[in-house]
Amino acid sequence: MPFRLFRPVLVGLLLVSLSACALFPNRDPLNINVVGIEPLPGQGLEVRMAVKLRLQNPNETAIEYSGVALNLDVNGKLFASGVSDQQGSIGRFSETVLVVPVSVSAFAALRQAVGLTQAQSLDNLPYTLRGKLAGGVFGTMRFSDSGTLSLPQPAGGW
């Protein structure tokens, strides 16, 4: 007898949970590209850089964000990482530039320098950028970008 009462409740909960998926907005992914890297003052043996990201929202609704985290791989190896608690909104069908400070440890810089051949320089290095743009429980968006970049030369050299 208790199973007869439990079964309709279970079926009802299943239907409600399946229909809840339809309530989430169907969004196109953001277009995120690296548009610049500039040197920042560092401390000790670390090198700091400002990574500029262009975020384009191809959706009909604005996207709110409350933080960003990223990792930058150069030549297939982790080179820099950074986080920022910046908050803002990217309007519908619009774009913005977000600047994220990243740190490069002396060991990562040394590993990259050792990995360079004599013919290679700090120009046109292959990179992969991976990160996430925080937007709440269901609004976090992961992104990646790849291409080639020219790393800035710090004032004192590597």
Give the domain CATH number at 103. Answer: 2.60.40.10
Q: What is the pLDDT of residues 112-124, one digit of tens each?
A: 666 655 445 556 7
On whether residue 49 sits in a domain, the answer given is yes
Per the structure, the count of domains in the chain is 1
pLDDT of residue 92: 93
User: Considering the chain, what is the average pLDDT of its residues?
Assistant: 78
Report field, pTM of the whole predicted structure over 0.85:
no
Q: Which amino acid is at 89?
A: S
123 vs 92 pLDDT, higher one: 92
| Residue ranges making up the domain that contains 27 | 23-149
On whether residue 68 sits in a domain, the answer given is yes
Q: How confident is the model at residue 13 (pLDDT cuts 50, 70, 90)?
A: low
pLDDT average, residue stretch 28-53: 87
Distances (CA, A) of 132 to 12, 36, 94, 97: 36, 18, 19, 15
Q: What is the pLDDT of residues 71-81, one digit of tens each?
A: 988 888 888 89
On whether residue 11 sits in a domain, the answer given is no
pLDDT of residue 154: 52
On whether residue 35 sits in a domain, the answer given is yes
pLDDT of residue 14: 65
Q: How far apart are CA 158 and CA 136, in angstroms?
A: 39
pLDDT average, residue stretch 136-153: 74
Distances (CA, A) of 128 to 26, 33, 74: 27, 11, 7
Q: What angle do CA 47, 48, 49 make, to 5 degrees?
A: 125
On whether residue 8 sits in a domain, the answer given is no
